[in-house]
Amino acid sequence: MTTATASHDDHHGPEKGLMRWVKTTNHKDIGSLYLWFAFTMLLVGGAFAMGIRAELLQPGMQLMEPQFFNQLTTMHGLIMVFGAIMPAFVGLGNWLIPMMIGAPDMALPRMNNWSFWILPFAGAILLSTFFMEGGAPAFGWTFYAPLSTTFAPDSTDFFIFAVHLLGFSSIMGAINIIATVLNMRAPEMKLMDMPLFVWTWLITSFLLIGAMPVLAGAVTMMLTDRNFGTAFFDATGGGDPVLFQHIFWFFGHPEVYIMILPAFGVVSHIIPTFARKPLFGYSSMVYATASIAFLSYIVWAHHMFLTGMPVAAELYFMYATMLIAVPTGVKVFNWIATMWRGSMTFETPMLWAVSFVFLFTIGGFSGLMLGIVPADIQYHDTYFVVAHFHYVLVTGALWAIIAATFYWLPKWTGRMYNETLGKVHFWWAVISVNVLFFPQHFLGLAGMPRRIPDYSLQFADFNLISSLGGFAFGASFILLTYIVIDCVRNGKPCGSRPWESAKGLEWTLEPKAQYHSFNTPPSRALIEAESQNS
């Protein structure tokens, strides 16, 4: 009976028309929805960034009111974190995890549909605040109280609701991934046979269900402080605004690893493929990822060194922060050791992956500098911080997402993208992104504060360079859009394993992965042949 239903499913293609996408429970459809949504949000958040850089092109106030500038920086951060990077990784997870573990679909397909379809509404609510009286939230993406409680516009309540929805979506996505990896895995696949992308996503899911509810708690407290007379963050009622920062960063620090761990997974697939060597130190990669995840929960107050902490607490948070460099270093050394004496070629995904290792490490090092208490007193709230987190989030997380897109696009579409254009786009983006963000280190060291629409004359030159880099980087996404659409429509059909040395169960599927794959689980022999741990 079971076999009969299974073979019936085989011929069950996607529904026709628009309702296919609304009603779909297929992990591949939902993965595509997530990726297109994330890409749209990337362009929206990128447009805000263009506005910010245009205002900062010259000293003085040119284009907008300071209040609107603050709205742009706030919404840029929120949209990029919650609308672009996180949904993009969930999209990659949806597409790839079932194929990588030999599962026919996600464990909870209807919840999967729901967790996606919450997102456009949450995004629309968040963006609609621009058109409300008092404007959009303007208190920065970290929404510190009392700026976000006592002194915030009425639209903040819509922002709170949007954050609740985004949190729901992420938590459901995480539950789904845990259930899929632990229950739907091919019965012959042991945990230590799992590809690293699956491992990193599994660990990220635990971070999500640990951290996102804390964020939901923080915004709920904001909501009751604003509307129902509580005083969680109000000193007059016995509350404490610094408590907000503790709760926020208890979420916020795991959040940054939520955005980077899946990126580590992606890079751990691409580098072995194009170095034509097995991944160096598979199990140490798994343990390093788990250690980073654990440490991410106990370092949050390094974002708050200037709030007035006893020296002992500052020392603890400084040392604990430094400790994260150890497992992260293990990963970087493993990637380098994988490339060492490999027969390397530099197809587009590899270019993105190698530049990820280099540029993410720069971001990691500036993070270490910020983790040093006496140094942080100078760097705090300057453009050095902006440069740091853009190196880890743009040339880290976003780089890995683009790398993954080029690497798996042939599997998703059955077609090959235009390699020449891919390389042109890579060099365009990698040069412009450094022109954009590298000078911001110098601006920060010279003392230029973040989140201010105007600046003193001595910062003018570096800001001009940074803005020009920004416009060039922004424009590069027009080419990326073209390359992806061109691949989907006109790409040359490719084989089922377009990268000769690629390992992984997904490459055993048809060139364009079937709508329903792995109705029968893969055999032990196949799993071993495709394992990264060998």
Partner 1 sequence: MERKEITKGFWIKLVSAPILMFAFAFAMVPIYDIFCEITGFNGRTGRVDSEQQYVVDENRKVEVSFFAMTMGGFPVQFGPKVSSMEVIPGKFYTTSYIAKNNTDKTVFGQAIPSVAPTDAALYFKKLECFCFNRQAFKPHEEVEMTLRFVVEPELDKRIEDISLSYNFFELDS
Residues carrying an active site annotation: 76, 105, 141, 169-170, 253, 255, 257, 268, 302-303, 328, 331, 450
Q: Which of 59, 109, 217, 278 binds partner 1 (CB under 8 A)?
A: 217
Q: Is 521 in the site for partner 1 (CB under 8 A)?
A: yes
Q: Is 240 in the site for partner 1 (CB under 8 A)?
A: yes
309 binds partner 1 (CB under 8 A): yes
Give the dihedral of Cα atoms 203, 206, 212, 213; nearest 10 deg. Answer: -170
Q: Which helix (H) or strand (E) holds 117?
A: helix 109-128
For partner 1, the closer of residues 211 and 271 by Cβ is 211
Work out how close the CB of 247 gets to partner 1 at its nearest, in angstroms, rounded to a whole number. 6
> Per CB under 8 A, does 488 bind partner 1?
no
Q: Is 216 in the site for partner 1 (CB under 8 A)?
A: yes
Of 40-48, 303-311, 378-386, 411-419, the segment contacting partner 1 by CB under 8 A is 303-311
**Does position 5 bind partner 1 by CB under 8 A?**
no
Query: Three-state DSSP class for 50?
Result: helix
212 touching partner 1, by CB under 8 A: yes
Q: Check residue 140 and give left, alpha or beta (phi > 0: left; psi -120 to 50: alpha).
A: left
109 prior amide bond cis, ω within 30:
no
- Which lies closer to partner 1 via its Cβ, residue 247 or residue 260? 247
Q: Is 152 in a helix, a strand, or coil?
A: coil
Tell me which stretch binds partner 1 (CB under 8 A): 179-187, 315-323, 426-434, 479-487.
Answer: 179-187
Partners of 449 in the β-ladder: 382
Question: According to the binding rule CB under 8 A, does residue 236 interact with partner 1?
Answer: yes
Is residue 242 part of the contact set for partner 1 (CB under 8 A)?
Answer: yes
With binding defined as CB under 8 A, does residue 446 bind partner 1? no
Radius of gyration of the CA atoms of the chain, in A: 23
Q: Exactly one of 199, 232, 264, 408 binds partner 1 (CB under 8 A); which one? A: 232
Amino acid at 46: G
Burial 171-195 (b: 16+ CB within 10 A, else e): bbbbbbbbebbeebbbeebeeebbb
Would you say 76 or 302 has its CB closer to partner 1? 302
Contact flags string 74-103 toward partner 1, x per CB under 8 A = -----------------------------x
Residues in Cβ contact with 85 at an 8 Å cutoff, skipping those fewer than 6 apart: 38, 259, 393, 397, 398, 401
Among 109, 210, 342, 449, binds partner 1 (CB under 8 A): 210
- Dihedral angle, C-alpha 229, 233, 234, 238, nearest 10 °: 100
Sole binder of partner 1 in the list 107, 275, 362, 387 (CB under 8 A)? 107
499 φ/ψ angles, rounded to the nearest 5 degrees: -100, 115
Residue 308 interacts with partner 1 (CB under 8 A): yes or no: yes
Q: Around Cβ 456, how many Cβ atoms within 10 Å?
A: 10
Q: Is 134 in the site for partner 1 (CB under 8 A)?
A: no
Is 307 a binding residue for partner 1 by CB under 8 A? The answer is yes
Q: Does 171 bind partner 1 (CB under 8 A)?
A: yes
Nearer to partner 1, 221 or 429 (CB): 221
Query: Residue 400: which residues within 8 A CB-CB, separation 6 or more?
Result: 262, 263, 264, 266, 267, 352, 353, 356
Q: Given candidates 187, 329, 493, 495, which one binds partner 1 under the rule CB under 8 A?
A: 187
The answer to whether the CB of 99 falls within 8 A of the CB of 505 is yes
Taken in order 157, 453, 396, 372, is the CA torsion positive or negative?
A: negative
Select 246 or 276, whichever has its Cβ closest to partner 1: 246
- Here the tokens at position 414 are 């059955």
Contact 300, 207 (CB under 8 A): no
227 near partner 1, rule: CB under 8 A = no
Write down the least CB distance from residue 228 to partner 1, Å: 14
Cβ burial of 124 (10 Å; 0-12, 13-18, 19+) is: exposed
Q: Which range in 87-95, 193-201, 304-312, 507-515 contacts partner 1 by CB under 8 A?
A: 304-312
Closest distance to partner 1 from the beta carbon of 305 (Å): 12
If DSSP states are collapsed to H, E and C, what string results for 409-447?
HHHHHCEECCHHHHHHHHHHHHHHHHHHHHHHHHHHHCC
Among 50, 209, 344, 526, binds partner 1 (CB under 8 A): 209
Our finding on whether 250 is near partner 1 (CB under 8 A) is yes
Q: By CB under 8 A, name the one of 120, 134, 213, 474 that touches partner 1.
A: 213
320 binds partner 1 (CB under 8 A): no
Residues in the chain: 534
Minimum distance, C-beta of residue 492 to partner 1, in the bound complex (Å): 37
218 belongs to the binding site for partner 1 (CB under 8 A): yes
Find all residues with CB under 8 Å of 511, minimum gap 6, and list them. 410, 411, 414, 493, 494, 495, 496, 498
Binding site for partner 1 (CB under 8 A): 103, 107, 171, 175, 178-179, 182-188, 209-218, 220-221, 232, 235-236, 240, 242-243, 246-247, 250, 307-313, 521
